[in-house]
Amino acid sequence: MRILESVKDPEVPVLSVVELGVVRDVEIDGDAVTVVVTPTYSGCPAMQAIEDDIVSALRAGGVANARVRTVFTPAWTTDWIPPAAREKLRAYGIAPPSHSGVHSPVQLRRREPVLCPYCGSASTTPRSEFGSTACKALHFCNACTQPFEEFKAI
Amino acid sequence: MSEPFFEYLLRLGDDRLVLGHRLSEWCGHGPTLEEDIALTNIALDLVGEANLVLQRAGQIEGAGRDQDALAYLRTDREYRNALMVELPKGDFGYSIVRQFLFSTYAMHQWEALSACADTDLAGIAAKALKQSRYHVRHSAEWLVRLGGGTDESHGRAEDALNDLWRYTGELFATDAVEQALVKQKLAVDSSSLEAVWRRDVADVVARATLTLPPDGYMQRGGRAGGHTEHLGLMLAEMQVLPRTYPGAKW
C-alpha cells in the first residue's frame, strides 16, 4: 500500500490512485501481487497510464510478480475520495466533488453552488459541464474573477 | 445462448461507437471553445462505453475477435446500430437534438441494464448510467436555450426534431433476439423504455417552447444491418488506417 500511495493520477498529480478510489483491493499470493482497480470514466485515457504506473512502481519496490486486474462493480464514485484528499484538491486549485446523490434525470440547473477553491466564494457561475479531462467541469468565480475546475461528483 | 447475446451487445456497442464518431467530428468546429470540449468529452465517453461493450461482445463470441477487430474490421452490413446515430452531424442544433433524444434513451437503458444477469454488462451499465446523466443534462440545457433563443435557433431546433422523429421508433422496437434474452434477464425490453423516454422528452421539448412531432412512419433497418449510405462513408474514414496498415501501432 505504501508503494501504491506513491502512484499519482497522471492528470491530477496531487492524488494517489488509492485516494482517488481507483485501487479497490490488493491480493497477495506468495510473491505474486495483484492490484484490483476500477476505471473512473469509461473513456478515461489515463487508466492505461495508471495501470502501467502501478506495475512499474511495484517492480521498482521489489515486487517482480505484479499485475493489475480490472473490475467494474461497484461502479467508481467520487464519494470514495476521503476528506483529506478533497482538501488536497482544493489546495491544488480544483473544487472537490460534492456528494454524488441521485439527481433528477433532466434537472436543468445545478444544485448548490460550487465554492471557489481560491477565495471560497459561493458566487460562482458554471461555464461548462465538461473540462480539460473527463472528470472535471469548468466554473468562473465572480468574486475573485478566477476561472477554475471542479472535480465532478459522479 | 451466446449468439443472441453477442448480437445484443453489438447493438449496444455500435450505437455508441457510431454516435461517438459522429460527435468527434465536432472537434475543432464547436461553436465555442467550451462547447468544443464538451462535445468531444461526450464523444470520448461514448467511444469508451463502446470499447467496454465490444470487448465483452468479443468474449461472448469466443472467436478471438477483440474490440478493435469488431470496430475496424466489420462492414456496414455487419453493424447493428440504430439509423439515428449514423446520420451526418448536421448543424449544431441537429447534433444537440439527436444527442438529447439518444442520451435520454441511453440513460433509461443503462439504468435497466444495471440489473443485468451478466455481471460484466451490469457493471458497465452502472458506470455508464452516471455519465449519461451528464449527457442528458448537457443536451437538455442546450435544447431549452436553442428553442427559447432567436427565431433562427428555434426554427433550426424544430426542423431537427421533425427530421429526426422518424428515427426514434427504431430505438424502442423489440424482436425475437431481444425477447429471448429478456427472459434470461440479459437484456432490457426496448419497448418498455418508451413511456419514460417520452415523458422526459415531452417535458424538455415543452420547456424549449418546441412542438413534439406527430408519430408517423418510423424508419428502421439498422438492427438487421440495413443502413443508410452515410454509415459506409463514415466507416471508410474510421477504418482506413487499420485496414491499410493491419496491426499498426503508435
Is A104 near chain B, with CB under 8 Å?
no
Domain co-membership, A53 together with A89: no
Is B141 near chain A, with CB under 8 Å?
yes
Task: Answer yes or no: is A77 within a domain.
Answer: no
Is B124 near chain A, with CB under 8 Å?
yes
Task: Write phi, then psi, for A35 (nearest 5 degrees).
Answer: -100, 125
Domain co-membership, A65 together with A88: no
Task: Answer yes or no: is A17 within a domain.
Answer: yes
User: Chain B residues with CB inside 8 Å of A107's CB?
Assistant: 137
What CATH number corresponds to the domain at position B181?
1.20.1260.10
Query: Residue A100 has what pLDDT?
Result: 73
Task: Answer yes or no: is A58 within a domain.
Answer: yes
Report, as an integer, the average pLDDT of B107-131: 95
Instruction: Note down the domain range covering A18.
Output: 2-70
Chain B segment 146-185 residues within 8 A of A by beta carbon are none
Question: CA-to-CA distance for B81 and B235, rounded, in angstroms?
Answer: 12
- All cell numbers assigned to A13: 498529480
- Of the residues B54, B118, B130, B133, the best mutation for testing chain A's interface (the one with the most A CB atoms within 10 Å of its CB) is B130
Residue B181 scores a pLDDT above 80? yes
Rounded to two decimals, the ipTM of the complex is 0.74
Which of A23, A40, A70 is where one domain is finished? A70
Q: How confident is the model at residue A103 (pLDDT cuts 50, 70, 90)?
A: low
Total count of domains within chain B: 1
Is B38 near chain A, with CB under 8 Å?
yes
Domain co-membership, A51 together with A91: no
Residue A111 scores a pLDDT above 70? no
User: Chain A residues with CB inside 8 Å of B44's CB?
Assistant: 41, 43, 45, 134
Domain co-membership, A12 together with A66: yes
Report, as an integer, the average pLDDT of B187-195: 97
Instruction: Note down the domain range covering B43.
Output: 2-244
User: Chain B residues with CB inside 8 Å of A74's CB?
Assistant: 123, 126
CA–CA–CA angle B26, B31, B33 (5° rounding): 85
pLDDT digits (tens, 9 = 90+) for A6-53: 888 888 888 999 999 999 999 998 889 999 999 888 777 788 889 999
Task: Answer yes or no: is B224 within a domain.
Answer: yes
Total count of domains within chain A: 2
Domain co-membership, A51 together with A110: no
Question: CA-to-CA distance for A95 and A122, rounded, in angstroms?
Answer: 11
Q: Which residue has the higher pLDDT, A111 or B76?
A: B76
Domain co-membership, A28 together with A56: yes
SS3 of residue B148 by DSSP = coil
Task: Answer yes or no: is B250 within a domain.
Answer: no
Q: Do B107 and A105 touch (CB under 8 A)?
A: yes
Query: Residue A154 has what pLDDT?
Result: 81
What CATH number corresponds to the domain at position A59?
3.30.300.130
Domain co-membership, A88 together with A144: yes
Task: Answer yes or no: is A27 within a domain.
Answer: yes
Question: CA-to-CA distance for A127 and B40, rounded, in angstroms?
Answer: 16
Residue B55 scores a pLDDT above 50? yes
User: Chain B residues with CB inside 8 Å of A128's CB?
Assistant: 34-35, 37-38
User: Chain A residues with CB inside 8 Å of B207's CB?
Assistant: 108
Task: Answer yes or no: is B211 within a domain.
Answer: yes
Query: Residue A107 has what pLDDT?
Result: 56
DSSP A20-44: TT-EEEEEEETTEEEEEE--SSTT-
Which of A40, A70, A100 is where one domain is finished? A70
Task: Answer yes or no: is B71 within a domain.
Answer: yes
